A = this chain, B = another copy of it.
Amino acid sequence: MAWELKSDRPIYTQLTEQIELMIFSGVYPLGSKLPSVRDMAQEAAVNPNTMQKALVKLEEDSLIITHRTSGRTITEDARIVEMAKTKLAQKQILAFLEKMQLMGFEQKEIISIINTMVEEMQK
């Protein structure tokens, strides 16, 4: 895993987001076991407390389940993951479109730019 941690906002927030993405994309499959807090912290070159803080949010969202002495696992419930994924996607798209509109781009313009960039990414 390539952790991308910038200093322009809290690290634990970024960790939460990136772990969430790994759950959505199946890097951590349903029901699979997460590494220990200490191991994940070391992997991300971060203090255990910070990683702990990052994981709490995912528990609140029921994406992961904590077993006091045997670690954490990803939820077995596919619906929970799917719903969270859809919710995040819509949030992303909305935020993106709003920002582009604030910049002064027309809607048709936005779509055409995206089409162009997607084509470029496929190369």
Contacts and interface: CB of A to CB of B under 8 A. Distances in A.
Interface in A109-123: 110-111, 113-115, 117-118, 121-122
Interface of A: 8-10, 13, 21, 24-26, 85, 88-90, 92-94, 96-97, 99-100, 102-105, 107, 110-111, 113-115, 117-118, 121-122
Contacts of A94: 117
B107 A100 contact: no
A8 B111 CA distance: 30
Nearest to A85: B103
Contact of A117 (B9, B88, B97): B97
A117 B9 CA distance: 29
A121 B92 CA distance: 15
A122 B108 CA distance: 11
Given A111-B115, A114-B114, A115-B111, A96 B104 contact: no
A19 to B, nearest CB: 11
Contacts of A114: 93, 97, 110-111, 114
Contact of A104 (B8, B25, B103, B104): B25
A92 B99 contact: yes
